[in-house]
Structure 1
Amino acid sequence: MKLMKKLRVKLRKWRREYLDFSSNTYKIIWAVIFFILIALTLSLDLIPNQVDLRAGQVSQSDITAPRTIRFIDEARTSELRQRAADTAPRVYEEDSTVEEEVLNKVNNLFDTVRSERQFFYYNKVDLGAEENFQQNDTVLEDNQNNESPKEKVISQNEIDNLTEAEVNEIVKLIDGDLDFEISSENLANLVRLNNDELNDLKNRSINLLQAKLQSRILPSDLGTARQDLRQNTMEMDISRNKRLILAEILNKVIAANMFLNQEATANRRQEAISDVEAVEKTVRQGEIIVRKGDVVTDADIEVLERLGLQKGGINYYNISGRIIISFILIIILGFYFYKYQKDIWQDNSKLLLIELLILTVVVLAKILTLFHNPFVNYMVPTAMASILLTILIGSDTALITTLFISLLIAPIYDMNFNIVLTSFLAGLIGIFSVTKVKERGDIIRAGLNVSFILVFLIGGLSLLQQNQDWVYLIWSIGGGIVNGLLVGVLANGLLPYLEDLFDMTSSVKLLELSNPSQPILKRMLVEAPGTYHHSVIVGNLAETAAEDVGADSLLARAAAYYHDIGKLKRPYFFSDNQFGGENPHDKTSPNLSALIIKSHVKDGVELAEENALPSKIIDIIKQHHGTNLISYFYQQALQDNKHDDIEKKDFRYDGPKPQSREAAIIMLADITEAALRSKNFNKNNHDRIEGFVRGLVKDKLIENQLDQSNLTLSDLDTIVKSFVKVLTGIYHQRVEYPEKLLKEMKGGNNSA
């Protein structure tokens, strides 16, 4: 115990030397350091990856997944989407002009054959007749009387008389007029057919084409369509040459009557792609990713990278993202305190405590990730910070800090929503569990509450995700249970050191100090019993009044118990410890007596610091007499002194005046109890007590002793009523027992 006390005293001295900063310069310095440490914690790996594999390399060992992860298999998803796009039906629309264009080509072919043959033949005849004009008048006369060559009809006999060279010339003329190609052999055969035969082939061609174009012909179906037309042609009862001519014509002119709608097809492909859901791949904790002796594939490399096991270059994008996230969150948290919690923003000790707890939890979360086990995934002690901040500062601060911590650890666990949610809710349970702490055991119970809730929360998340890995679930629930136990132990163990280091006083600390078994109080009871009982009554008065005006009643009671501990140095110099004995002040001068009386404040501060009492109690010890005048010895000095060199300042307490409502209440309770105890009037009279108390309070108000305490006139009236209520209970009139009854009671006691 002595060692612990010495350690806590050293912590307090260290805080005063290094942490008691009040300027904004230190606020900025600590904020920058805090940001750097958080960014480094989020960005750096504590242990570098040990795997360095490439696709096609043979693995030298088994590599297992340290934790369960789920991710989108981009390669498989892309493959399925490409397949869906390729198999999506294309959109075709019918072209009604195709049939007309095809038939026009056929008509144009036969018309060209007929016209060019007639024109060539009769033009040749006309030229030959002109050369033999003198020898053959009849021929010339006939030519002059006949129609032009284009309008003449060539006979079968004339066709048969065409030479091979002439037929070739006609073929050249026809070929130059066509917009599609026909072999010279088939064109020559067409030229040798008479008009009836040409008409027959033309009609056959048109009939076959019209029949075929009645059905849908896609560009991909053209080959089949040509085969069908050729087969139909070969089945006709005509000469072989005609079948070949007809087959080639149909083969050349047939065209698809359905065209591809590019825009509609693209939309159809896009719909098919969007209908393919992303392929989610799950790698469970303990699953073997690569076996020893297996050839590593690209898919294996992807899984290793997802798990963070693949050694590679520095991911600057990832690091930058983590730094940006931490910077934004810190700015938001700082703005929240600046805007909505001014008391926190202006207190550098509280800000530093918040930063320290945040950093502690984040670092612990980073360390826990090294174990790669579901048991430790849910052991992040966020609730520890929540509980400590609730006890030391308040639930509002704890709530916003809990949210901040939960968001900060998200990048550490690869944005795992389950970890973030359990961290935040565990912190909330911790806050709710310690809003009214009466003893340290309440902190342990808060940890048990966290364990209890985490069991159901982790189980619910598992059911929500339809996770059938029962081993993983059991490990996770076990981690949640240990989380709560760890939170209770850490919060309970760190609380007293944080109180001393950051000069904060929790309700737990005040309750402990209020216990009569405290060494100082036990010493006071033995060495200064009058002062002890006086302090107890002052504590009752102060606690009731503080509660009625909305001040810290627990602080008022604890501080009242210790406000006069300085009297332990010279207890016999104070009237409450003399018990009718010799008064040592009778043998000392008024000046020395006044010095001894007011020195109990300084002695009390020294004793409080030696015993590591909270600064709030030390401040009240300093302030509980303010700058009051020690009037008894001042008046005595005036009577004894024959000169006018007596100054009031020598008989006043050094102060300062009460700076808080609790200090002012204790001042009023102190003088009320002491003054009332010294009065001889009937204390059973409620009105006289109230008038007396109001007079004392009025005097302190007139003396300006309460100017800096933030007490209002309404508060003072409430305080007077509270004092009167307590004092009436203490000095209530007792019922006198009849003499006969007293004798019977005594007789009964003797017989017992």
Structure 2
Amino acid sequence: MKFMKKLRVRLRNWRKEYLDFSTNTYKIIWAVIFFVLVVLILSLDLIPNQVDLRSGQVSQSDITAPRTITFIDRNRTSELRQRAADAAPRVYEEDSTVEEDVLKKVNNLFKAINDKREFFYYNKITINEESTAQNSNADSEQTAADKENNLTAAEIEKFSQEEITEIADLVRGEIDYDLSRESLAVLITLNNEKLLGIKNRALDLLETKLEGRILPSDLASAREELRQSAMEMDISRRERLALAEVTESVIAANMFLNQEATASRRQEAISEVEAVEKTVRQGEIIVRKGDVVTESDIDILERLGLQKGGINYYNITGRIIISFILVLLLGFYFYKYQKKVWQDNSKLLLIELLILIVVFFAKIMTLFQNPFVDFMVPTAMASILLTVLISSDTALITTLFISLLVAPVYDMNFNIVLTSFLAGLIGIFSVTKVKERGDIIRAGLNVSFILVFLIGGLSLLQQNQDWTYLIWSIGGGIVNGLLVGVLANGLLPYLEDLFDMTSSVKLLELSNPSQPILKRMLVEAPGTYHHSVIVGNLAETAAEDVGADSLLARAAAYYHDIGKLKRPYFFSDNQFGGENPHDKTSPNLSALIIKSHVKDGVEMAEENGLPAKIIDIIKQHHGTNLISYFYQQALQDNKHDDIEKKDFRYDGPKPQSKEAAIIMLADITEAAIRSKNFNKNNHDRIEGFVRGLVKDKLIENQLDQSNLTLSDLDTIVKSFVKVLTGIYHQRVEYPEKLLKEMKGGNNSD
């Protein structure tokens, strides 16, 4: 017990230091931290994935699907589309300029042969004439230019092998394709008639070949056909070889692929192939032990989150966007429709903390990859705690928010989202009126009961689920409710202390007479104790009638005068006709002692860990009322006019809530009625007296900040009178004969 008390004090001190802030700056800081933590929980894996397989690797164990998924089989779809694209006909267009270019190359070749051997021959003759050595070059050039096809066979035969090679090199420099020196040497040594015959044969072969379609892929076969045709000519073998090489070298494709039209046909063929869907059912073996892992297996493992892989930036970006939108909408809801929550940073922090706890818990659950734990997300825990500590409206919107956040954690699994939300709703409905901690446990049992039917219904809707899956899922739902009850019950007292919130459960516990401070009051200040009990009855009834928190009013009434425990004998409640210590003290000191019970009460309340709401009521239950008895006494005793009223007033503040104001009125009403010497059986007399007391406080402006209306005050008076009439009702006198008979009966027993 001492440890718990110390822990609660530490939590309270920590809260005051770090959580008691009211500026929007802190609100923004905590909101940013909350958003970052949500994104981290959603995006990061808590432990490495279970497998790290590669295509072609042998699996060391059976790997089964933890849940059912339907997806596009990218590999199969890509394969079918590639086949369709490859099968799509290519579009070719004929180039009419190819034949002209090919024939032109042949003509240029033979012209170059004639020109170069004539030019070389005449230059050679001129160089050998000694008498015209100085003018030989000019004359020979002119002679060579003026003559054409004029070399005879005899002149051609005069070329040496070195000269033929030199002429061949000159010819090769004139053409833009490659011909061997051997073939050129054959052509150079032919007489004009034979050379012209080879030329005509080459042109005929090429023209015939180019009449048909020659694709780039057909060039090899076209060259082979030209070679065969050339080798069938009725000429020498040397000439046939030269003719074959010439035709092979200049032949070109006359049909070319139309890239744009072909791409269009390929795309059309691809678009006609529909995407192949594949379904992997829960429990299905993806890879068997000993099997070779394929690319398709890797794809399925990645989709199920079982394959260790690189960072999926698209997935992370999507989760960041979803988280940002949801956080923004949640904040806007509280700002627009729940001002009290928005203005109370402690409540906002509590909401954020519970959201993080549940989402983090859900993230841990995904690691097990089992239907049993899939349905154990404790969303209802947050729903129950928020209903008890704040309100059901806050709990409802937060439950929806949590359920939507859980969706990306479970790969947008609708069953998990729906189960999470409905479990939260059940929790909210189950704790709208909590009277003891056992009600929270019962709320958890309600969650278990409903989830059995909900999960069963969802499982039966999926006809592919077997009975094993159904049993495991229902088992997870049952454990969910039990877990919710235990967690909510266990966290409640710590959250109350950490965020300085007071639940109805806490107030009920504080109202128990077995509380140490109340037991002490009963022994050390019995008059004050009984006064507090009656004030509690008055305050509870009045608060309930005006729509205030009746449970808070009763609990606060029990503790409003605990400060009198420091000096109980200075208060008339506890003097019981004995000596009055105020007779020996000055009015100023007596007033100071009387006032000090408020300050002492606050200190004792803080030491005992009482909620802030009760501490506030202890501060405010006397407002700034005047301690009139000692003030009047001071005026009578003092011969100088230096008495100030403020020295005889309570320090306040005035009541800031309906509950505080009701306790102030109940306090003075009980004390005044008890001290007055008039017939308390007279209902009208009591009502008139109570109305006078309430009117006095209204005139003194003690109720200005309490939000009580005149209608509320009238209701409070009637409530007080009803309770007081019951307390001071006239008892019926028993007849003397009946009393004797009762006594006789008792004696006989």
| TM-score bracket relative to the smaller structure | 0.7 to 0.9
Distance in 2 between residues matched to 1:43 and 1:65, nearest whole Å: 24
Q: Does 1:28 pair with 2:25? A: no
Instruction: Tell me the CA shift for residue 468 of structure 1.
Output: 3.4
CA contact (8 A) 2:560 2:621 kept: yes
CA contact (8 A) 1:71 1:282 kept: yes
Distance in 2 between residues matched to 1:610 and 1:378, nearest whole Å: 43
Deviation by residue 1:107-152 (Cα, 9 ceiling, x = unmatched): xxxxxxxxxxxxxxxxxxxxxxxxxxxxxxxxxxxxxxxxxxxxxx
Instruction: Tell me the CA shift for residue 660 of structure 1.
Output: 0.4
1:572 aligned residue: 569
* 1:595-744 superposed matches below 5 A: 595-744=592-741
Q: 389, 392, 396: which one pairs with 2:389?
A: 392
Q: What is the DSSP-based 3-state SS (H/G/I as helix, E as strand, rest coil) of the residue aligned with 1:600? A: helix
Distance in 2 between residues matched to 1:419 and 1:28, nearest whole Å: 31
1:141 aligned residue: none
Instruction: Tell me the CA shift for residue 672 of structure 1.
Output: 0.4
CA contact (8 A) 2:82 2:270 kept: no
Distance in 1 between residues matched to 2:457 and 2:272, nearest whole Å: 36
- State the TM-score, normalizing by the size of structure 1: 0.73
Distance in 1 between residues matched to 2:532 and 2:31, nearest whole Å: 43
Distance in 2 between residues matched to 1:720 and 1:562, nearest whole Å: 22
Instruction: Tell me the CA shift for residue 289 of structure 1.
Output: 2.2
Q: What is the DSSP-based 3-state SS (H/G/I as helix, E as strand, rest coil) of the residue aligned with 2:733? A: coil
Q: How many residues align?
A: 573
The one-letter code sitting in structure 1 at the alignment partner of 2:280 is T
Deviation by residue 1:660-699 (Cα, 9 ceiling, x = unmatched): 0100000000000000100001011111111100100010
Instruction: Tell me the CA shift for residue 65 of structure 1.
Output: 2.5
CA contact (8 A) 1:572 1:578 kept: yes
2:66 aligned residue: 67
Distance in 1 between residues matched to 2:478 and 2:579, nearest whole Å: 65
CA contact (8 A) 1:76 1:279 kept: no
* 1:266-345 superposed matches below 5 A: 279-285=277-283, 287-345=284-342
- State the TM-score, normalizing by the size of structure 2: 0.74
Q: Which runs of 5+ in 1 are unaligned?
A: 87-180, 182-264
Q: What is the DSSP-based 3-state SS (H/G/I as helix, E as strand, rest coil) of the residue aligned with 1:281? A: strand
1:404 aligned residue: 401
* 1:382-531 superposed matches below 5 A: 382-531=379-528
Q: What is the DSSP-based 3-state SS (H/G/I as helix, E as strand, rest coil) of the residue aligned with 1:53? A: coil
Distance in 1 between residues matched to 2:333 and 2:74, nearest whole Å: 44
Q: Which runs of 5+ in 2 are unaligned?
A: 86-210, 212-264
2:163 aligned residue: none
Instruction: Tell me the CA shift for residue 738 of structure 1.
Output: 2.0
Q: 380, 383, 406: which one pairs with 2:377?
A: 380
1:58 aligned residue: 57
* 1:48-447 superposed matches below 5 A: 48-55=48-55, 57-65=56-64, 67-75=66-74, 78=77, 279-285=277-283, 287-447=284-444
CA contact (8 A) 1:66 1:373 kept: no
The one-letter code sitting in structure 2 at the alignment partner of 1:480 is G
1:16 aligned residue: 16
Distance in 2 between residues matched to 1:280 and 1:300, nearest whole Å: 12
The one-letter code sitting in structure 1 at the alignment partner of 2:8 is R
- Structure 1 stretches of at least 4 aligned residues deviating more than 6 Å after TM superposition: 79-86, 268-274
CA distance change for structure 1 residues 517 and 467 in 2, over 3 Å: closer, same or farther?
farther
CA distance change for structure 1 residues 60 and 461 in 2, over 3 Å: closer, same or farther?
closer
Distance in 2 between residues matched to 1:439 and 1:458, nearest whole Å: 29
Deviation by residue 1:605-648 (Cα, 9 ceiling, x = unmatched): 11111110000000000000001011111111111112111111
Instruction: Tell me the CA shift for residue 78 of structure 1.
Output: 3.5
The one-letter code sitting in structure 2 at the alignment partner of 1:8 is R
Distance in 1 between residues matched to 2:600 and 2:519, nearest whole Å: 18
Superposed CA RMSD in Å reads: 2.4
Q: What is the DSSP-based 3-state SS (H/G/I as helix, E as strand, rest coil) of the residue aligned with 2:409? A: coil
Distance in 1 between residues matched to 2:51 and 2:618, nearest whole Å: 64
Q: What is the DSSP-based 3-state SS (H/G/I as helix, E as strand, rest coil) of the residue aligned with 1:372? A: coil
Distance in 1 between residues matched to 2:642 and 2:383, nearest whole Å: 61
Q: Does 1:42 pair with 2:39? A: no
CA distance change for structure 1 residues 271 and 297 in 2, over 3 Å: closer, same or farther?
closer
1:4 aligned residue: 4
Deviation by residue 1:409-467 (Cα, 9 ceiling, x = unmatched): 11111111111110000000000000010000000000000011111111101111113
CA distance change for structure 1 residues 430 and 278 in 2, over 3 Å: closer, same or farther?
farther
1:593 aligned residue: 590
CA contact (8 A) 1:84 1:273 kept: no
CA distance change for structure 1 residues 379 and 50 in 2, over 3 Å: closer, same or farther?
closer
The one-letter code sitting in structure 2 at the alignment partner of 1:627 is T
Q: What is the DSSP-based 3-state SS (H/G/I as helix, E as strand, rest coil) of the residue aligned with 1:363? A: helix
Distance in 2 between residues matched to 1:472 and 1:76, nearest whole Å: 30
Instruction: Tell me the CA shift for residue 603 of structure 1.
Output: 0.8
The one-letter code sitting in structure 1 at the alignment partner of 2:67 is T
Q: 549, 553, 558: which one pairs with 1:552?
A: 549
CA distance change for structure 1 residues 510 and 373 in 2, over 3 Å: closer, same or farther?
same
Distance in 2 between residues matched to 1:504 and 1:608, nearest whole Å: 15
CA contact (8 A) 1:73 1:278 kept: yes
